[in-house]
Chains A and B, each alone.
Chain A
Amino acid sequence: RSCILVSIGGKNIMLDCGMHMGYNDDRRFPDFSYITQNGRLTDFLDCVIISHFHLDHCGALPFMSEMVGYDGPIYMTHPTKAICPILLEDFRKITVDKKGETNFFTSQMIKDCMKKVVPLNLHQTVQVDDELEIKAYYAGHVLGAAMVHIKVGSESVVYTGDYNMTPDRHLGAAWIDKCRPDILISESTYATTIRDSKRCRERDFLKKVHESIERGGKVLIPVFALGRAQELCILLETFWERMNLKAPIYFSTGLTEKANHYYKLFITWTNQKIRKTFVQRNMFEFKHIKAFDRSYADNPGPMVVFATPGMLHAGQSLQIFKKWAGNEKNMVIMPGYCVQGTIGHKILNGQRKLEMEGRSTLDVKLQVEYMSFSAHADAKGIMQLIRMAEPRNMLLVHGEAVKMEFLKGKIEQEFSIDCYMPANGETVTVTTNPSVPVDISLNLLKREMALGGPLPDPKKPRTMHGTLIMKENSLKLVSSEQALKELGLNEHQLRFTCRVQLQDPHSDTDTLHRIYTHLKSVLKGYTIQHLPDGTVMVESIVIKVSSSTEDPNTKVLLLSWSYQDEDLGSFLSTLLKKGLPSGLC
């Protein structure tokens, strides 16, 4: 499950609010007391963002908003907002009505919760408050899945939710622009997998179904109601269309019909093909796929049935499976992963005799096929997304630690950026390098421009002199004179003086002259003056010579320069420390 808290630029954001399907006790929901022991969540959270409608990303939402108490905005995309309550309601029915649990959220709570939702559009920048803004990107995976770019000032985070980098039959590929976030939070379900091309999988799937139908067999495809089911429906539907097949296809659950309705509505969220052809015909208005009725399972002749749930552990799919298992002409295709202990897992492992409740056994004669239709990005896809977004730091979530370790190594090696993989409940702190905007006075800029040089280039840093004034939460860069004026300070002159001892047998004046000629030969392009009062001026640097009191041969040079001429002054002092060349007259 996903539930991530991000604190960025003083704002607290909750990314996804998922639940764990495996537990039936308190562990199923995130521990919101982690955020605040007492007091309402609303005071601590600025907003909640839900990436897509899967329960492991949004299942705890009514619990949090209604039972724990949160009144702030909840952001999700339009399709998610539409489909999410259907799933929540279904989930509630199963837990409350079937399992008889109490202390669970009610239908009304779901409705109330949905009232707090603010819908998002793709690529629409939404200002949550003055400083916090969020923007959604397309993520593939399921209808309405989004990645969000969260920005506060100059700091930003991208949260991917679940995403898919390879397009499929009804959804496009995830896409993000080069937003260079400070941190990219990515799922990593398939951190160590590189998948085969989807075409092979599709072809295999279609071929198997086709062959079975031609033999006169029945095909059972256990699916979960939303997501991959639509993908497979489209796949079969178009194939039936193309090949002019007549065998019926049934879809078993009522829940899907409702959701399918939304699939029809949210055409803009689907892939290119569906978007382009919906004018002629909406791909989700299936011609060949009809609603299933329990009695159809006994009809003679070939047919294809999609039935829920996907792991053959209960419900309609199991009933149909029991009916059809005895005939070797029939086939069951498992389109996804099966948890250990389910019948799906058993038959995939080649078990041919199943023990059913009531101590009866079931001979499995039908063919069992496995076909992976997962809509998560594989390792390559994750890398591709990183390349697209160019983040400065990387954070992996939603995956197994061992696998993430591998991917982490790869990311650090390829992109040379820091990669984190926090465990549940762990907090990662990433220091950012925020850029601070500073106002600059026009006069100073103009003066700088007048100094010449090429046109300002935003990619190259350039040094300039100025004074930074920090006053009342604003930063200003002005020339030093102006700063003095503004702050009402007097200007202080800063002069450096330095003594250099020289071994020189000549008289003071001669030494001075020698120094003059020496500097004249070394420093070309500088104004060097031999002043009558016994000093040499290089620009504004004054050099005086006096003999040491003990030894007349040791001359002491006095160098004095102002702070502005620091460079030249220190150069001169090192130069003179080396002594004068002997060849001078």
Chain B
Amino acid sequence: MAAHLKKRVYEEFSKVVQIPHEEAPAKKLRLSKPSKSAALHIDLCKATNSTDALQYLLHFARKPVETESVEGVVRILLEHYYKETDNSVRLKIASLLGLLSKTQGFSPDCIVDDAINTLGNEKSHQVLAQLMDTLLVIGTQLPESPAVRQRLIEVACKHLSDTYFGVRNKCLQLLGCLGMVDTPLTKDNEGLGISLGGVRDVQSIISDYFGDQDPRVRTAALKAMLQLHERGMKIHEIIYDQACRLLSDDYEQVRSAAVQMVWVLSHLYPESIVPIPSSNEEIRLVDDAFGKISHMVSDGSWMVRVQAAKTLGSMLQVSPQFLEQTLDKKLMSDLRRKRTAHERAKELFTSGEFSSGRKWADDAPKEKLDTNTVNLIASGACGAFVHGLEDEMFEVRIAAVEALCQLARSSASFAEKCLDFLVDMFNDEIEEVRLQSIHVLREISTHITLREDQLDTVLAVLEDSSRDIREALHELICYTNVSTKECVQLALLELLKNLNKYPTDRNSVWKCLKFMGSRHPTLVLPLVPELLSTHPYFDTPEPDMDDPAYIAVLVLVFNAAKSCPTMPALFSDHTFRHYSYLRDSLSHLVPPLRLPGNGLDLVDSRCGLGSVESAQLFLQQSLNRVSTIQNLEAPGAQDLLDFTIRDLRRLGELQTELAGAADFCATYLRCQLLLMKALQDKLWNMAVPLCLKQNVTATAAAQQILEETYKLEFLYSGLDSRQVATIHHVRLQAKALQLILTARTRQGLDSLISSCEKFLQDIESFQRLFLTELPHLQDSFVDKLLELMPRLSSCKPVELVKILQTTLRQSGLLQLRLPEQIHRATATIIEPTGESDNPLRFTTGLVVALDIDATLEHVQDPQNNVKVQVLYPDGQSHVIHPKPGDFRKPGPDRHRLITQVYLSHTAWTEPSQIEVRLLLAYSSSSTSLSSPSKLGWSDSIDSLPTPETAVEGTIPFSKPVKVYIMPKPARR
């Protein structure tokens, strides 16, 4: 065997050497590049003792191996393996074999036999374990060959009886990863006598090891079973009992895996019936599993508790009575039943008397309990969540809160029940838990109506000093339903208190009241006179219009009035005036109202219900009108474009839903306008030296168009490939224009040639990228160019430029199809406000932290793309990349950036302003790869590297904010 191997190795050895032989002169070769395997062989031969050999191997493992030489290397390693007596070296060789068989492009089926052979003589358990691992790697590399798998499985089964746990572990792992997914049929074919090999079902073999003496092996067995499940094998129901037994194992990792196993089975066989031990009753399996996992929530190990709590959340099929048990905790005191605080609160509420709580005996226990009925140890699901929510580790609490959320979303009655517990969590000591429970309550708030006492607890959190908590709570209040007008009043009062305490919450509080008003118009109605402090006889003084609290009240009232037509009758004169003022200044918070008389109707008439449709229509018409532009003379066409752009811009301002689309169209048209202007007749008919000035403007225009196209492509979300194609088309036109202009001004032929080549590449890549879109681009610039392509690629640059010039001037405007949903990425910097006159003073050479708070809308992947730019008055600019953790996601398509940027500068004589703005970074290569149109041309991508060099840049997309700073010279 060894001799044979050696022969093969030497064959391989010489072969590898010979490959370069054919290409290069022989003498050079030997000196220059010895093959990997050759080098290794020499090294290993040189190694006098095992330590050296190990060193060589370690050194060798650091470098990658070319695909061609892998087999040779493997042979050498194997050869050495047989010779080696030291365990650690053999172990390393075994692990190297595994690594090597992972090499891309190498098919390890040729070394399967050898690898299995090595197992036979191996005495060291560690090495055996490593070899099994190698086999596992080989097996996973060869998913297509069942024969190899079958062999590997047999080998694994043979070694399952090893005395070393590591070997058993690896064998089980191998079985889990490679075990036949289709139930093995070999059982009948081969008779029962042989107990090895794939004769028995893989599952039953694995499940034998559930009772192994080593906990690590038990865990591995469970994991292997889970692996089988993941690979799509249907786990037998018998496993359930065994898994349940493992739930009470002594070792946490076993219990943890068992929880998972039970969970998997409960999903596979939710409806089967299992008997309850020690009674004749039977229950559904999913209920039983739910009870058992609930039990694990009070396990001794917190890892298991987290696992169990998480798992509970996804068991939605459980029956309601079991579900509700999880929140059940009977209280008793001196053997008498006691009501929980929750029950007391509820009772007080229903009896109409609000919590007095003054008496000591208030919670005195009432009924005498029968000692037999008290169930002290929670059997089954009893009180699982009560425990989970009170757990010591916040990880468990968070998991429990999340699980509650998932379960509550699917069951309204459960949501109602868990409300009290969630509200309690608002008082948790760890902020994350509080935040999480507020979010959860928001998510399930569609199911519930808050009682007054609950609302009270919820609102108490409004005074929290953490901004995140307050904002989450505002968000929650936006979505909650309350039952009485007192609740509304209470909420308003608390919100106003909050506003008073934390004036920065202004916007958030107003928004909150907006939803509050529109949700509960009838509850607000009786409060209106009080809220607006009107009096039936006397005129009350007019409140201060700039008072945020007053605005808050008005926002509430106006939003309620929207669906309550009787309300405006209660308004006093100044309220109407304030309405029109607020409608203008805070139009996003104040809805249009149909007010009687007073000539205030005019606001509403335009914004009727159909306004969106009509605006859409208008947009479409404008675009259609533009498409007739070909027929117009130049000045007329330009005017038309000018007007259309103006119209669209205004439309965008008026109709927020269409702002994105309108803006997009306007920008596109502006590009066209610029192009058109640049292509004016005059310029091109003149001799080059005469039109330098025009040349300059045209160059500037081309540059601008390029910039605009990048904005078009990256600032707007919701574009489909057709629009992207159109944008790229414009960009191509701009590039053509640039090329022509360079050709006209500069005389250097070399640079011209290179730019021509680049342009041709651009065209090619365009063609490749938008192959599917080409039919839509008929008669366009590109279309014409592509027709001429063979000629273009062969002709001289000067000729090319000429062709370009004519085609460019002949080509018309490409009709822009209106995309479905377009959103423009926007950012607003809330803080700093830029209003402060007090300069931020700091000592030169040190830094000062500037808090930045901004909202981003429709930004994809802000963590990577959004940057903060700081512009100093001397023209210096810094770009700061905020941490990913600084971005929060309060809602879909919305992000919030709360970060700090550090400023520093040399000393100034007096304070001056710096500008802070947000930038959107883009890179054309990454976006085009990830865009949905990728599918169409993915095949072509693999073969060719994208010639279009990745264009990277940034677009400023927020209004700059000025901050007054003053770096003082350091005092000595």
Contact = CB atoms under 8 A, between A and B. Distances in A.
Interface string B297-334: 01010000000000000000000000000000111111
Contacts of A242: 463-466
Nearest to B386: A197
Interface in B348-403: 357-362, 371, 374, 376-378, 386, 389-394
A244 B465 contact: yes
A261 interface: no
B300 A414 contact: no
Contacts of B333: 192-194
A311 to B, nearest CB: 14
A403 B376 CA distance: 14
B341 A410 contact: no
Nearest to B162: A455
Contacts of B362: 370
A411 to B, nearest CB: 8
B429 A169 contact: yes
B48 to A, nearest CB: 38
B466 A409 contact: no
A343 to B, nearest CB: 13
A206 B427 contact: yes
Contact of B460 (A193, A207, A349): A207
A495 to B, nearest CB: 39
- Quick one: which of B250, B376, B391, B393 has the most chain A CB within 10 A? B376
B342 to A, nearest CB: 7
B930 interface: no
Interface in A402-422: 403, 406-407, 409-410, 414
Given A197-B390, A242-B464, A388 B211 contact: no
A167 B392 contact: yes
A47 B207 CA distance: 48
A197 B360 contact: no
Interface string B423-434: 011011110000
Interface in A176-205: 176-178, 192-204
Interface string A432-472: 00000000000000000000000101110000000000000
Among B340, B378, B390, B428, chain A packs the most CB atoms within 10 A around the CB of: B390
A384 B360 contact: no
A384 B390 CA distance: 14
A370 B360 contact: yes
A175 interface: yes
Contacts of A349: 360-361
Contact of B340 (A175, A196, A368, A370): A196
A379 interface: yes
A166 B389 CA distance: 11
A198 B390 contact: yes
Interface in A350-396: 350, 367-370, 379-380, 383-384, 387-388
B429 A201 contact: no
A570 interface: no
A382 to B, nearest CB: 8
A350 B359 contact: yes
Interface in B389-421: 389-394, 421
Contact of B342 (A193, A200, A238, A370): A200
B424 A369 contact: no
A286 to B, nearest CB: 15
A272 B392 contact: yes
B341 A178 contact: no
B371 A197 contact: no
Given A192-B335, A197-B390, A203 B457 contact: yes
Interface in A283-315: none
A196 B331 contact: yes
Interface string B524-565: 000000000000000000000000000000000000000000
B309 to A, nearest CB: 15
Interface in B441-490: 457, 460, 463-466
A175 B305 CA distance: 13
Given A199-B427, A368-B358, A406-B335, A172 B390 contact: no
Contact of B331 (A175, A195, A210, A244): A195
Given A178-B250, A272-B393, A455-B163, A379 B376 contact: yes
B650 interface: no
A243 interface: yes
Nearest to B428: A199
A173 interface: yes
A206 B429 CA distance: 13
A271 interface: yes
Given A242-B465, A383-B376, A383-B377, A166 B429 contact: no
Given A242-B464, A350-B360, A271 B392 contact: yes
A241 interface: yes
A348 interface: yes
Contacts of B331: 194-196
Given A203-B424, A243-B464, A173 B357 contact: no
The residue in B332, B362, B392 that gathers the most chain A C-beta atoms within 10 A of its C-beta is B392
B376 A410 contact: yes
B465 to A, nearest CB: 5
Contacts of A323: none
A273 interface: yes
B376 A380 contact: yes
A273 B430 contact: yes
Given A203-B427, A369-B358, A193 B390 contact: no
A406 B457 contact: no
A208 interface: yes
B585 interface: no
B161 interface: yes
Most chain A beta-carbon contacts within 10 A, residue among B335, B374, B377, B378: B377
B501 interface: yes
A147 to B, nearest CB: 13
B213 interface: yes
Contacts of A178: 250, 300
A335 B753 CA distance: 89
Contacts of A173: 391-392
B425 A199 contact: yes
A208 B456 CA distance: 13
Contacts of B391: 167, 173
Contacts of A406: 335, 371
Nearest to B431: A242
Contacts of A383: 376-377
A399 to B, nearest CB: 12
A29 to B, nearest CB: 30
Contact of A409 (B358, B359, B371, B501): B371
B275 to A, nearest CB: 20
A176 B301 CA distance: 10
Contacts of B393: 272
A166 B425 CA distance: 15
A458 B213 contact: yes
Contact of B211 (A272, A370, A387, A459): A459
Contacts of B374: 410
A403 B250 CA distance: 32
A242 B469 CA distance: 10
Interface string B336-352: 00101110000000000
A581 B250 CA distance: 57
Given A178-B300, A273-B430, A369-B358, 20 more contacts: A167-B392, A177-B300, A192-B333, A193-B334, A194-B338, A196-B329, A197-B421, A197-B424, A199-B425, A199-B428, A203-B424, A208-B357, A271-B392, A349-B360, A369-B357, A370-B362, A380-B377, A388-B300, A410-B374, A457-B213
29 contacts: A172-B392, A175-B300, A176-B300, A192-B332, A193-B332, A193-B333, A193-B334, A194-B329, A194-B330, A194-B331, A194-B332, A197-B421, A198-B390, A199-B390, A199-B427, A200-B341, A200-B424, A203-B424, A203-B457, A204-B357, A242-B465, A272-B393, A273-B430, A379-B332, A380-B378, A406-B335, A407-B376, A414-B377, A457-B213
List of 3 A-B pairs having minimum Cβ-Cβ separation, nearest first: A200-B341, A167-B392, A199-B424
